[in-house]
């Protein structure tokens, strides 16, 4: 059975019908690097396996290494990708562990890397994970339920000042102080355990004007808690530079992000790699100062209106791509 209580075959059927976000564009960005026999592509965020399956199908000469911290996702995707045999290697790991995973597999360089950040469709759809504010569930939000603190523990134990920082930094929540004051008052009465109680508290705490804009008033708080529980931005800060480091010359990386904090980090890493770092005034720029990345997208590419109509979860997606154009010169 899946975590939702459905038979695994039913869950697999649902995921097979779900088209991953910006799939065609991701494949196009990575394609020039994945045509040679033996090319290795890493899906750093396996999830339900949609991107991985498309990569294995589109590039029959390539080998896939796929990472996920969610063991249920690995199990379901393992069933989905079983027909590809030893072309697919699935690993239980967080994506900033990419260098260690590749070292264990004896792979010094890879030709392609894909990140599809944020919470997966499976995690949103399975009520008992606590990611979605639209349905009542235990306040968990751990992508790997075998380790770490839950969202309930964060709400019930963090000092008020730390909670305000998290909501502002990770949720860009302007009403952070008001929400945290209500949380602290309520947790003294009884600890938080369920998402519906938190959603109701946020609705009651916000002024009417704040509730009229930006969709569900709880979404920014839920985003902030999820990022804190899973260390997402800290992991991403390590993961994208590490992935660039392991790209072979000519290798390509594509990153799908779903909120501005993620996209900003990716933009900064790519921009730094594509910059000339020479001191000003040099008549000839030595190779060690030359850019090591070439940007493949002009800014962040967005999904089309047609794709958003087909899949509402594509709406906030931002896609950036880059190509490794030289080795580091020490």
92 is in an annotated binding site: no
For residues 296 and 274, the answer to whether their CB atoms sit within 8 Å is no
d(CA 164, CA 154): 12
Kindly list the distances between the CA atom of residue 292 and the CA atoms of 63, 126, 285, 328, in Å, as whole numbers in the listed order: 25, 41, 13, 7
For residues 101 and 65, the answer to whether their CB atoms sit within 8 Å is yes
In this structure, the number of other CB atoms found within 10 A of the CB of residue 4 comes to 16
116 is in an annotated binding site: yes
| Beta pairing class for 318-324 and 293-295 | antiparallel
50 is in an annotated binding site: yes
259 is in an annotated binding site: no
Query: Which residue, chain included where needed, has tokens 């996702």?
Result: 73
268 is in an annotated binding site: no
d(CA 111, CA 109): 7
125 is in an annotated binding site: no
d(CA 231, CA 17): 30
28 is in an annotated binding site: no
d(CA 273, CA 294): 8
DSSP reduced 3-state for 288: helix
* CA 59 to chain CA centroid, nearest Å: 23
DSSP reduced 3-state for 166: helix
* CA 80 to chain CA centroid, nearest Å: 21
Counted residue by residue, the chain has a size of: 330
For residues 223 and 141, the answer to whether their CB atoms sit within 8 Å is no
For residues 211 and 243, the answer to whether their CB atoms sit within 8 Å is no
| Beta pairing class for 110-116 and 247-257 | parallel
Cα torsion angle, 99, 101, 103, 107, sign: negative
Query: Which residue, chain included where needed, has tokens 């590809």?
Result: 84
Binding site residue list: 49-51, 68, 95, 116, 123
Binding site residue list for S-adenosyl-L-methionine: 49-51, 68, 95, 116, 123
């Amino acid at each position: 059975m899946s975590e939702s209580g459905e038979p695994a075959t039913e869950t697999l059927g649902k995921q097979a019908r779900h088209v991953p976000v910006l799939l065609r564009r991701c494949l196009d960005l990575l394609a020039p690097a994945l045509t040679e026999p033996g090319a290795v592509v890493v899906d750093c965020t396996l999830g339900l396996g949609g991107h991985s399956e498309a990569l294995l199908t589109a590039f029959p000469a390539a080998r896939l290494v796929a990472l996920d911290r969610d063991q249920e996702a690995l199990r379901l995707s393992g069933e989905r990708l079983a027909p590809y045999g030893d072309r697919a290697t699935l690993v239980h790991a967080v994506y900033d562990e990419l260098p260690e995973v590749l070292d264990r597999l004896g792979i010094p360089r890879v030709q392609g890397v894909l990140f599809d950040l944020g919470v997966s469709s499976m995690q949103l759809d399975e009520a008992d994970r606590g990611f979605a504010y639209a349905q009542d569930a235990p306040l968990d939000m751990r992508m790997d339920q075998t380790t770490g603190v839950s969202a309930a523990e964060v709400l019930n134990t963090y000092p008020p000042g730390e909670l305000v920082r998290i909501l502002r930094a990770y949720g860009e929540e302007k009403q952070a102080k008001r929400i945290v004051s209500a949380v602290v008052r309520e947790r003294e009465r009884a600890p938080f355990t369920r998402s519906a109680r938190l959603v109701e508290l946020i609705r009651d705490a916000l002024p009417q004007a704040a509730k009229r804009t930006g969709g569900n008033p709880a979404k920014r708080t839920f985003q902030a808690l999820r990022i804190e529980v899973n260390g997402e931005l800290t992991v991403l800060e390590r993961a994208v530079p590490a992935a660039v480091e392991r790209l072979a010359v000519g290798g390509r990386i594509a990153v799908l992000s779903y909120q501005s904090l993620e996209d900003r980090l990716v933009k900064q890493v790519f921009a730094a790699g594509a910059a000339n770092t020479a001191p000003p005034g040099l008549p000839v720029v030595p190779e060690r100062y030359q850019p090591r990345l070439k940007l493949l997208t002009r800014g962040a590419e967005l999904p089309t209106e047609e794709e958003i109509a087909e899949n509402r979860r594509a709406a906030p997606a931002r896609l950036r791509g880059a190509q490794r154009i030289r080795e580091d010169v020490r």
